[in-house]
Amino acid sequence: MSRAGAALVALAGISLAIRAVPDQPGPAWPTVAHPLGVDVLGRDFLGVLAHGAADFVGPGLVAVTLLLIAVAALSHRRTARPVLDAPRPTSGTRWFLLAAPPRLLLVMLAMLVLDAPSPLVAAVVVTALYLPVALDELDARLHALQEQQVLAGLVAHGLSSSRIVLRHLLGGHLAEPLRRHAAMLFVQVAFTQIALAWVFGASAVSPGLGVSWGMELKRYAAALSSGGCTPDVVCPGSVALLHTVLLLTVCLALLGGVARTAER
């Protein structure tokens, strides 16, 4: 896992210790008690960041797990067949036609048939659309390993199919492309969750006053125009500007860091 991915998981874990509910009379600048200040709704902003990260980290990890299961199944299928009779990989054009539909549109259509937006359904839809892209490259790599007699050599040494798949394929020959595709899938799930929160006006995970980075960006953007500030009162618009900058910085730095893992 990249440092940015580990930081996102750690930030989501902070949500277990810090609440993100209004418990202050109004916005406030950072203090020792609230290192990132209190937002326009009276919530600890560190808690808002943490709960907003948890909004997509869980679904993102579910999506990555589904990708690992699919690649493991494909690898097992390749090793179970006669290794000298390597079947040709599926046509790339066919794979990419399956991945062509617009991701966010299909996710929103799936949300319409539910009583409330579901993060797991959104993650599954994004994963189903991304799998053809990942499996196209990984299947071609497996075919090349068969043609080069790499799999035949592993089988000839008496290794079990599970050991070949887990240690030599997922943990070896396929580790680099698998890491890239897992990072890209995680980022796609994250941005889909953020977009859903912006569109639906709430978290895609929590009902009611949910916390999501997309909803918070929308809320703070609306608070930027608030006026009527006096010298002895904390200006909500100024605090909202600070939190908007912090939220965008964290979003771009951490999600951008994960996305860089997807580069070849």
Q: Which of 248 and 91 is assigned the larger pLDDT?
A: 248
Q: Which residues contact 83 (CB under 8 A, 6 or more apart)?
A: 146, 149, 151, 152, 155
Summarised one tens digit per residue, pLDDT across range 42-60 is 889 999 999 989 888 999 9
Best CA proximity match to 54, nearest among 82, 84, 19? 19
Q: Which residues are registered as beta bridge partners of 190?
A: none
Res. 204 pLDDT band, cuts 50 70 90: very low
Q: What is the full DSSP assignment across 145-161?
A: HHHTTHHHHHHHTT--H
The DSSP letter of residue 255 is I
Contacts with 68 (C-beta within 8 Å, 6 or more apart), sequence order = 170, 178, 182
Among 128-132, 158-162, 166-170, the range with the most confident prediction by mean pLDDT is 128-132
Instruction: Decide which of 251 and 220 is more confident.
Output: 251
pLDDT of residue 85: 59
| Residue 63: predicted pLDDT | 93
For residue 205, the model assigns a pLDDT of 44
For the chain, domain boundaries: 3-261
Mean per-residue pLDDT of the chain: 80
pTM: 0.83
> Looking at the DSSP assignment, which residues form a beta bridge with residue 28?
38
1.10.3720, 1.10.3470, 1.10.150, 2.120.10: which CATH number matches 3-261? 1.10.3720
